[in-house]
Amino acid sequence: MPHTLRSLIAKPGWPGMAAIALLASTAVFYQVALKPLEARRESLERSYSGMRQPRPGDPNLLRTATASSKLDAFYRFFQREESTTDWLARLYAIADKSGVSLQLAEYRLTKGPGRLDRYEIALPLAGDYSQIRAFLENALIEIPVLSLDQVNFRRKRANDLAVETDVRLTLHVLRP
């Protein structure tokens, strides 16, 4: 029996031995590398399928919601405790904190076709560019119902640090 085993090993030669070694290394690679990855993939698929099932209050639930419930969610975003005067007071406080001087402002209330009205604000500002930029960034962060519509910068001379700026903002207010 040992003689037949030796003859079987000797018969394929070095190409056969390389093929056998390659098959053995493939089996080891499958057990060591691929099998754990396959188990990890199955675990991730199970957790992903659990995440896809909608839960009440889940913001992703809007994807499957009806048009009227999406519209209700849109209007809920604008339901705020603050009044228009509260928002304007906060806007002026942000300007003071940023070092921007507010000059005479123009306000105009525009009734929208839905339940949302637009309170358009035209502000001429004075300050340097970084102050005006800080004011606008902070205003948009702290007042979530505010949008920036237009900004115009002017300098009297090219080397002036002071910038005159005309800003148009819109405060979106839900009609009671």
Q: pTM here?
A: 0.59
pLDDT of residue 60: 56
Q: How many domains, the chain?
A: 2
For residues 151 and 83, membership in a common domain is answered with: yes
Answer whether residue 61 is part of any domain.
no
Cα end-to-end distance, the chain, whole Å: 98
Task: Return d(Cα 139, Cα 132) in angstroms, integer.
Answer: 10
- Rounded (to 5) percent helix, strand, coil in the chain: 55, 25, 20
CA 147 to chain centre: 17
Helix (H, G, I), strand (E, B) or coil at 99: coil
Same domain, 27 and 101: no
Q: Are residues 23 and 86 in the same domain?
A: no
Q: Indicate whether 40 and 100 sit together in one domain.
A: no
pLDDT of residue 28: 87
Q: Is residue 135 assigned to a domain?
A: yes
Which amino acid belongs to residue 53?
A: Q
Which pLDDT belongs to residue 6? 66
Ranges under pLDDT 70 in the chain: 1-12, 49-64
Give the pLDDT confidence score for residue 64 in this predicted structure: 62
Residue 70: inside a domain, yes or no? no
Per-residue CA distances from 176 to 67, 78, 80, 173 (Å): 22, 11, 11, 9
Residues 169 and 111 in one domain: yes
**Which domain covers residue 28, as residue numbers?**
2-52
